[in-house]
């Protein structure tokens, strides 16, 4: 089934307790599209880059079935740049630099070739941009999922509320779920968020896994306990890309399928954090993913007897 | 199979974001024995109380198969008293008062009637007391589990290392596992702790569930997402009591049985936090526990297809 991903193609500079890189490829679109390509092709990508974004990176994505008809290349401008430093727990980080560059001019247009996309992922972007994409869709997708962040809650809450009313599923981390709902209990937070629009809420808890809420149903997915989290950048976007890529592949939006999709997303994210940037995501094979999914099964499987 | 529990019978004063109580029944022995009584009877309790500990509380425990032959009642002394205040996250707390009282004189003696106990739980106590109990055992138990806390790592590390070398399983929370091992990664921490003695390590993560480590095997148990955690006091002791009570009942120390035992312990702990003190633990029935265990199964069960 056709998949549409809206996200950034960017440069990142990163510091973790394990090392430092000055300028590597990043962006939610990069991570999500790489992740999704393991499950479904093509991926219709909507993004914007400057003339500095490497041709070979785009070619690598194209070779994985990522379509660039909806990617605006502004030859005389610079790509989005983000720099951050992770704390020891790897769940929290400080943003050091945010250079919007081309992102300040991002006015996404959905090309005709993308029409009829049935699975849609809105990466973490200005809510007005997310709304614009949804308003351009001529047919109703089977599933629209979105990511967001505390920053938009602080400065664009009205637009954020509007886009929440237009999507099926919101994916946020635990502190964002708490901020958005004003509730400390994640059960209460998820209920309030569902009342804002999305019938499904995924709360990402980093090394503690993820929770999926839908009505009274809850699914708790474990995270794979890792010796080292080398670089958490892109873990959330890889998770989202793996999640929706798997759903597009099995062409289902049932709660049961979403549970499996969370395991797939978690497996992809667990690879992502093993090296800096998207490097590890480019290496993994179908066999690697299958082995990792089996680790998740043995990790969380149990049997109770009287 | 016969179960031996060493733990405190105490009074607690508690403050949580939901309320405050001045003087209620508490202690690791109380919570663990109540929890275990759902799975196995009798429980051979080793503890010490002052003359102020209510007769009816002891009678209630006795009615649940808890033996008091090894409980020293010092009529002219006061029982152990602890007072604490929980933070909003309910995972962290400040100790306000610790009055050792009789606990300062605790020199446990194992009565003849307790000989041959096959499952042993050492509640969080001074490591020298834990060692004394183990040294008095005339036959080797099938399983010895222990709890401890950061306080003993700070002031009695030599004794703690010694008792670690004598037990099969250590149960600690994530920050204690990190302090004991000097490793941030829980995978590395568990490996280092296993090298200190216990072949099995359970890391409790509060609202994020628990991890069981044994060699290269890992099991990740979810926590039940709760609307409100009313009072987390005793959750860890209830977990431990439910865990070892279930293992005594099925008379098995296999990894598979331990996985189920963690679910049982988690189910009991999830009841414990619903009211102040051990109140809720006294109300629950076998049917309540079965229903809660089924919630854990549906919470964590998933199926993946190609």
Shortest distance, CA B179 to any CA of chain A (angstroms): 14
- B198 in any annotated domain: yes
Residue range B258-272: average pLDDT? 97
CA A234 from centre of chain: 8
A105-146 residue pLDDT tens: 999 999 999 999 999 999 999 999 999 999 999 999 999 999
Mean pLDDT computed over A199-215: 96
In-domain check, residue B260: yes
Q: What does the DSSP 8-state code read for residue A69?
A: E
- Interface probe with A: pick from B302, B303, B306, most Cβ of A within 10 Å: B302
DSSP string, B231-243: --TTHHHHHHHHH
* B284 CB within 8 Å of a chain A CB: no
Instruction: For strands A93-99 and A80-86, give the pairing.
Output: antiparallel
How confident is the model over A139-166, as a mean pLDDT?
96
CA neighbor of A193 nearest in space, from A222, A163, A156: A163
For residue B219, pLDDT over 90 is answered with yes
Rounded-to-integer distance, Cα B276 and Cα B18, Å: 10
| Residues A33 and A63 sit within 8 Å (Cβ to Cβ) | no
Average pLDDT of A226-252? 94
Residue B225: inside a domain: yes
Mean pLDDT, residues A209-232 taken together: 93
Measured distance CA(B185)–CA(B255) in Å, rounded: 22
Q: Is residue B184 exposed (0-12), middle (13-18) or buried (19+ Cβ within 10 Å)?
A: middle
Chain A, 233 to 272: residues with Cβ < 8 Å from chain B are 250, 256, 259-260, 262-264
The mean per-residue pLDDT over the stretch B128-138 comes to: 97
Let me know if residue A160 belongs to a domain.
yes
Which of B205, B228, B250 is facing A185, going by the closest CB pair? Answer: B228
Q: Where are the beta strands (DSSP E) in chain A?
A: 3-6, 10-16, 19-26, 43-50, 66-74, 80-86, 93-99, 119-122, 143-147, 169-173, 200-204, 210-214, 217-221
Inside any domain, residue B102:
no
Residues on chain B touching A218 (C-beta within 8 angstroms): 225, 299
**Contact yes or no for A185 and B222 at CB 8 A:** no
Domain count within chain A: 1
Residue A305 lies in a domain: no
Let me know: does B103 contact B48? Beta carbons within 8 Å: yes
Give the mean pLDDT of chain A. Answer: 95
pTM confidence score: 0.94
**pLDDT given at position A188:** 97
Does pLDDT of B117 surpass 80? yes
Domain of B208 in residue numbering reads as: 3-8+29-44+113-300
Share the mean pLDDT of chain B: 95
pLDDT band at B306 (very low <50, low <70, confident <90, very high): low
Residue B90 lies in a domain: no
- Report the SS3 class of residue A212: strand
A260/B208 touch (CB, cutoff 8 Å), yes or no? no
B88 contacts in chain A (CB < 8 Å): 184
Which H/E stretch holds residue B129?
helix B127-136
Contact in structure between A210 and A204 (CB atoms under 8 Å)? yes
Whole-complex ipTM:
0.91
Do residues B25 and B277 make contact, with C-beta atoms less than 8 angstroms apart?
A: yes
Of A207, A208, A152, whose CA–CA distance to A180 is shortest?
A152
Does A55 score more than 70 pLDDT?
A: yes
Look-up of token digits 């009074």: B11
Q: Nearest Cα to B197, choosing from B146, B143, B150, B161?
A: B161
Residue A306 pLDDT class (50, 70, 90 cuts): low
In chain B, the residue whose alpha carbon lies closest to the alpha carbon of A205 is B208
Task: Band the pLDDT of B93: cuts 50, 70, 90.
Answer: confident
- In order of A273, A289, B151, B177, the CA distances from B301 in angstroms are 25, 19, 38, 28
pLDDT of A31 over the 80 cut: yes
Q: Does any domain span residue A35? A: yes
Cα A205 to chain centroid, rounded: 14
d(CA B188, CA B221): 19
> In this complex, do B187 and A303 lie within 8 Å of one another by their Cβ atoms?
no
Say yes or no to pLDDT of B272 above 70: yes
Whether pLDDT at B89 is above 80: no
Residues of A in contact with B211 (CB under 8 A): 225
* CA distances from residue A173 to A29, A176, A186, A239, B224 in whole angstroms, order as listed: 18, 5, 10, 12, 18
User: Facing residues of B19 across strands?
Assistant: B16
Tens digits of per-residue pLDDT, A60-114? 999 999 999 999 999 999 999 999 998 877 677 889 999 999 999 999 999 999 9
Q: What percent of chain B has pLDDT over 90?
A: 90
pLDDT at B54 over 90: yes
d(CA A155, CA B46): 59
Mean pLDDT, residues A255-272: 97
Q: How far is CA B286 from CA B68, B75, B290, in A?
A: 24, 36, 6
Residue in chain B closest to A225 (alpha carbons) equals B187
CATH number of the domain to which A58 belongs: 3.40.1190.20
CA neighbor of A45 nearest in space, from A135, A122, A124: A122
DSSP state of A206: G
Q: Which of A37-41, A56-60, A103-107, B230-234 has the lowest mean pLDDT?
A: B230-234
């Amino acid at each position: 089934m056709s998949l549409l991903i809206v996200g950034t193609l960017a440069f990142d500079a990163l510091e973790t307790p394990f090392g430092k890189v000055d300028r590597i490829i990043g962006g939610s679109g990069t991570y999500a599209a790489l992740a999704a390509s393991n499950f479904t092709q093509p991926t219709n990508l909507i993004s914007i880059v400057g003339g500095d974004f490497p041709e070979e990176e785009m070619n690598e994505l194209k070779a994985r079935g990522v379509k660039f008809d909806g990617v605006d290349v502004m030859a005389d401008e610079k790509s989005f740049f983000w720099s951050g430093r992770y704390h020891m727990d790897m769940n929290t980080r400080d943003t050091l630099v945010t250079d919007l560059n081309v992102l300040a001019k991002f006015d996404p247009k959905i090309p005709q070739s993308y029409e009829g996309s049935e699975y849609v992922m809105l990466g973490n972007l200005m809510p007005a941009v997310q709304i614009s994409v949804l308003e351009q869709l001529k047919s109703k997708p089977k599933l629209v999922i979105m990511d967001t962040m505390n920053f938009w809650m602080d400065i664009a809450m009205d637009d954020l509320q509007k886009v929440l009313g237009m999507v099926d599923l919101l994916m946020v981390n635990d502190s964002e779920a708490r901020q958005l709902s004003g509730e400390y209990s994640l059960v209460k937070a998820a209920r309030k968020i569902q009342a804002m629009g999305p019938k499904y809420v995924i709360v990402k808890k980093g090394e503690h896994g993820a929770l999926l809420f839908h009505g009274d149903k809850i699914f708790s997915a474990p995270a794979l306990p890792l010796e080292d989290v080398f670089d958490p950048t892109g873990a959330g976007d890889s998770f989202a890309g793996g999640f929706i890529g798997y759903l597009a592949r099995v062409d289902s939006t049932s709660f049961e399928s979403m549970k499996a999709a969370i395991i797939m997303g978690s497996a992809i994210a667990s690879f992502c954090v093993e090296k800096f940037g998207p490097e590890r995501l480019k290496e993994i094979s179908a066999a690697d993913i299958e082995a990792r999914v089996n680790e998740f099964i043995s990790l969380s499987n149990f049997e109770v007897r009287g």
